[in-house]
């Protein structure tokens, strides 16, 4: 086995160089963190589950014309991706009020938003990934005004596709976080992962506000049965097509 150089180790993934400078290898770990790593733990099998779900979703989105960094999935925990320069923004799309939106605005959990809300957070652990205004984002030159427009448009298109996809799985897509990168031609492409770590997913067959949770909120809020919820998402996702 070739031992590749480790480029970066994050909270949930490790990034390796490969023989090809345009290709990187991402290894999905079982480690889980929440609240800017104040809570740490492990979700058994999460790495492989998130790798499989992300790979499938990236392929589905690519088939619908969304440019993504996904190349292939050489093994259970590994994804080969195109090398990009990550834009230091977390682009969050919300369809239903939950999490920090409820905490910071007083909106009631489960309020269906009249239209999807797109928010930009500064990807900066030292600062605790703060919510940005558009003007602060531009002030810090984290993206150009044209890129902000494009990110907003792409995020809303992806939301439409993913919402439809999860609907077909009997799952409501409450909200999710995306990351984008710039390729060598300065084109924005979808990067990182799309998984129960980065989405809120509610089982439509369950009405109870705790039982319906199929995502990392089970870990964040100590709701139990974390592994089985992730497994259940994977089983449904892998069977479905957009």
Determine contact, residues 193/13, Cβ cutoff 8 Å: yes
Contact positions toward ligand TMP, by CB under 6 A? 92, 98-101, 129, 175-177, 198-200
Report residue 151 as tokens. Answer: 């990110």
User: What is the C-alpha to C-alpha distance for residues 167 and 240, in angstroms, rounded to an integer?
Assistant: 10
Tokens at 84, concatenated: 């990009």
Tokens for 181, please give them: 């990168």
Please say which residue, 17 or 34, places its beta carbon nearer to ligand TMP. 34
Which residue is closest to ligand TMP by CB?
A: 99
Is the Cα torsion angle 65, 68, 74, 78 positive or negative in sign?
Answer: negative
CA dist., res. 79 & res. 190, Å (int): 14
Instruction: Give the shortest CB-150-to-ligand TMP separation in angstroms.
Output: 20
Q: Least distance in Å: CB of 127 to ligand TMP?
A: 12
How far is the C-alpha of 120 from the C-alpha of 94, rounded, in Å? 11
Q: Which of 144/204 has CB closer to ligand TMP? A: 204
Min separation Cβ 200 and ligand TMP, Å: 4
Minimum distance between the CB of residue 46 and ligand TMP, rounded to whole angstroms?
14
Rank residues 45 and 99 by Cβ distance to ligand TMP and give the closer one. Answer: 99
Pick the closer one to ligand TMP by CB: 39 or 239: 39
């Amino acid at each position: 086995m070739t031992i590749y150089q480790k480029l970066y180790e994050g909270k949930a993934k490790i990034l390796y160089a490969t023989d090809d400078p345009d290709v990187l290898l991402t290894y999905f770990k079982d480690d889980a963190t929440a609240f800017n790593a104040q809570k740490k733990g492990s979700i058994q099998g999460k790495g492989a589950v998130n790798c499989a779900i992300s790979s499938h979703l990236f392929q589905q989105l690519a088939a619908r014309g969304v440019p993504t960094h996904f190349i292939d999935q050489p093994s259970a925990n590994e994804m080969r991706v195109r090398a990009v320069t990550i834009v230091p923004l977390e682009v969050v799309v919300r369809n239903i009020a939950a999490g920090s939106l409820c905490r910071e605005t007083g909106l009631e959990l489960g309020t269906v938003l009249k239209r999807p809300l797109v928010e930009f957070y500064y990807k900066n652990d030292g600062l605790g990934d703060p919510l940005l205004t558009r003007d602060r984002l531009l002030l810090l030159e984290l993206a150009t005004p044209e890129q902000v427009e494009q990110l907003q448009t792409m995020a809303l298109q992806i939301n439409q596709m993913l919402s439809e996809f999860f609907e077909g799985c009997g799952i409501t897509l409450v909200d999710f976080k995306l990351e984008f990168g710039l390729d060598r031609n300065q084109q924005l492409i979808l990067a990182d992962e799309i998984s129960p770590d980065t989405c809120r997913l509610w089982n439509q067959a369950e009405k109870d506000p705790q039982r319906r949770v199929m995502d990392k909120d089970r870990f964040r809020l100590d709701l139990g049965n974390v592994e089985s919820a992730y497994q259940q998402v994977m089983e449904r996702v892998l069977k479905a097509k957009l």
